[in-house]
Structure 1
Amino acid sequence: MIAAPAGARAPTPTPREERQGQRSVKNRSHPPAAETPPTIPGVRYRREERTRTVTTVINGEPRRTPETYHVYVPVPPRDFDRALLVGVTSVAVAVTTLSVAWSTASIGDLLGTVVFSAIAYGAAAVFDAAWITCMAIEWLDRYDQARAKGARTAGWWALAVAVAAIVAHGWIRGSFVIGCVGGAVSLIAKGLWVVVMRHFAVPLGEGPREWLRQRRAEIAAERAISAEAQRLDGARAYHAAVYGPTAATMQQLARMQGHSEDKPEQTPREAGELLASELADMPPTRAIRIVHESRPDLAPAELADVLRQYGQDVTELDVALVLGIARPPESGAPRTPAAPQPEAAAAPRDGHNNDPRPAQDPADRIVDNVLAGADLTAADAVRRVRDALPRHTSTQIAAQLTRCGFDKVTDGYVRTVNSRDRNRSTPKPTAVPEPPARPRPEPNGPYL
Structure 2
Amino acid sequence: MRTRTIVDTRRVPHTVDGETLLITEEHTRQIPVPPRDWDHIVWTGALGLIIVGLGIVIVWSTSSIGQLLVRTDIAAPIAFAAATGFSLGWIVCMALEWLARYDPVQIRHPRAAGHVFLAADMAAVCVHGWVADSLKVGIIGAVLSGGAKALWTLALDRQAAPLSARDQQWVMAKRAQIGSRLALGAVRRQLTRAEARAADEEAALRARSDADPDGPDESEDEPDADILPLPPGATTAKDAVRTAWEAGFRDEDKIRRTASKALGRPLSPDTVARYVRALKVGA
TM-score under structure 2 normalisation?
A: 0.69
Equivalence for 2:169: 210
1:247–1:127 CA distance, 2 compared to 1 (3 A):
farther
Show the counterpart of 2:18: 60
Distance 1:247 1:141, change over 3 A: farther
Is 1:138 aligned with 2:101? no
Q: Which amino acid aligns with 2:139?
A: C
Once residues 160 and 104 of structure 1 are traced to their aligned partners in structure 2, the CA distance between those partners, rounded to angstroms, is 15
Conservation of the 8 A alpha-carbon contact between 1:54 and 1:64: yes
Counterpart for residue 245 of structure 1: 203
Aligned partners of 1:44, 1:124: CA distance in 2, in Å? 53
- 1:128 alignment counterpart: 87
Query: Counterpart in 2 of 1:185?
Result: 144
Could you list the per-position Cα deviations for residues 248-289 of structure 1 after superposition, in whole angstroms to 9, with x for gaps in the alignment?
9xxxxxxxxxx8xx9xxxxxxxxxxxxxxxxxxxxxxxxxxx
1:196 aligned onto 2:193: no
The structure 2 residue matched to 1:87, chosen from 39, 45, 48, is 45
| Aligned residue number for residue 211 of structure 2 | none
Give CA-to-partner distance per residue, 1:4-49, whole Å, 9 cap, x none: xxxxxxxxxxxxxxxxxxxxxxxxxxxxxxxxxxxxxxx2111111
Partner-residue secondary structure (3-state), 1:144? coil
Looking at structure 2, the residues matched to 106 and 51 of structure 1 have their Cα atoms a distance apart, in angstroms, of: 61
- The answer to whether 1:220 aligns with 2:179 is yes
Matching of residues 41-440 of structure 1 within 5 Å = 43-114=1-72, 115-240=74-199, 242-243=200-201, 245=203
Distance between the aligned counterparts of 1:70 and 1:202, measured in 2? 42
Q: How many residues align?
A: 207
TM-superposed CA distance for 1:125, in Å, is 0.6
Counterpart residue type for residue 90 of structure 2: W
- Quote the Cα distance in structure 2 between the aligned partners of 1:136 and 1:239: 44
Verify the 8 A CA contact 1:108 1:120 in the aligned structure 2: yes
Give the residue type in structure 2 aligned to 1:46.
R
Superposed displacement of residue 177, structure 1: 0.5
How far off its partner does 1:75 sit? 1.3
Paired residues of 1:135 and 1:152 also in contact (CA < 8 A): yes
Query: Structure 1: which 5+ residue stretches go unaligned?
Result: 1-42, 249-258, 263-448
Q: Which has the larger radius of gyration?
A: 1
Q: 1:177 is aligned with what amino acid? A: K
Per the alignment, residue 245 of structure 2 pairs with none
Letter in 2 for 1:89: L
Separation in structure 2 between the aligned mates of residue 109 and residue 86 of structure 1, nearest angstrom: 35
Aligned-pair CA distance for 1:245 = 2.3
Paired residue type of 2:123: A
- Structure 1 residues 100 and 247: CA distance shift in structure 2, 3 A: farther
Structure 2 residue aligned with 1:305: none
SS at structure 2 position matched to 1:147: coil
Which amino acid is 2:103 matched to? D
1:142 maps to a residue whose letter is R
What is the alpha-carbon root mean square deviation over aligned residues? 1.9
Cα 1:173–1:247 shift into 2, 3 Å: farther
Letter in 2 for 1:221: S
Counting aligned pairs with the same residue, the percent is 34
**Does the Cα contact within 8 Å between 1:239 and 1:247 map onto a contact in 2?**
no
Name the one with the larger helix percent: 2
Matched residue SS, 1:217? helix
Take 2:88 and 2:146, find their aligned partners in 1: how far apart are those partners? 14
> How far apart, CA to CA, are the structure 2 residues paired with 1:247 and 1:177?
76
Distance (whole Å) between structure 1 residues aligned to residue 187 and residue 161 of structure 2: 35
What is the deviation of 1:229? Answer: 1.3
For residue 129 of structure 1, report the CA deviation from its aligned partner: 1.1
Moved over 4 A (4+): none
Which residue of the partner structure matches residue 273 of structure 2? Answer: none
Query: What's the TM-score, normalizing by structure 1?
Result: 0.44
Unmatched runs of 5 consecutive residues or more in structure 2: 207-221, 226-283
Does the CA-based 8 Å contact 1:108-1:117 persist in structure 2? yes
